Amino acid sequence: MIADKVRIIPTLSQFSVECRQAIKKGSQICLIFEGDKSTVLLKEKVNRLIDGKSVHIKFNPESIYQFVTSDDEEELITTSKESGIGKSPSLWTNNSNLIGLRRTAFESDWQKAED
């Protein structure tokens, strides 16, 4: 998941049940926050919201897009960061080609992001 720091808690709250279910199945939750890495409080909030042992957080100082990938089979992509998930035009897809492209982009962003 990639999101800015302002919208991450509402976004995770919306998907917290799904995150917990994925963690029970052995999944790892990887989050990239837009902005600098000075927000320890944000990490603590996220860890309280969903099981912190399975959550990995990095920061990207540059402006980035928002999207959620679910189990490599589905993906939600928002098209406007200003209004957030549920309020902006979004694409929910199970197209494996699009998911593969986004997965590659996420992995690249993950490598560039800072702990």
Compute CA 53 distance to the chain's CA centroid, rounded to the nearest angstrom: 16
Residues 79-92 have a mean pLDDT of 65
For residue 19, the Cα-to-chain-centroid distance in whole angstroms is 11
pLDDT of residue 17: 78
More confident residue, 17 or 38: 17
Please report the pLDDT score of residue 52 as a whole number.
67
Which residue is listed with tokens 């035009």? 89
CA-CA distances (angstroms) from residue 1 to 19, 38, 81, 88?
11, 19, 13, 17
Residues contacting residue 1 through CB under 8 Å, at least 6 positions apart = 11, 12, 29, 30, 31, 32, 67, 68, 69
pLDDT digits 0-9 by tens, 22-61: 778 888 888 887 776 666 677 777 777 776 677 888 888 7
The verdict on pTM exceeding 0.85 is no
Query: What's the Rg (C-alpha) of the chain?
Result: 13
Q: What pLDDT does residue 104 have?
A: 87
User: Order of strands, edge to edge, in the sheet holding 74-78?
Assistant: 55-60, 29-34, 2-4, 67-70, 74-78, 90-93
What span, in angstroms and rounded, lies between the C-alpha atoms of 2 and 60?
A: 10
* pLDDT 10s digits, 86-111: 566 778 889 999 888 888 888 888 89
Residue 40: per-residue pLDDT: 67
pLDDT at 13: 74
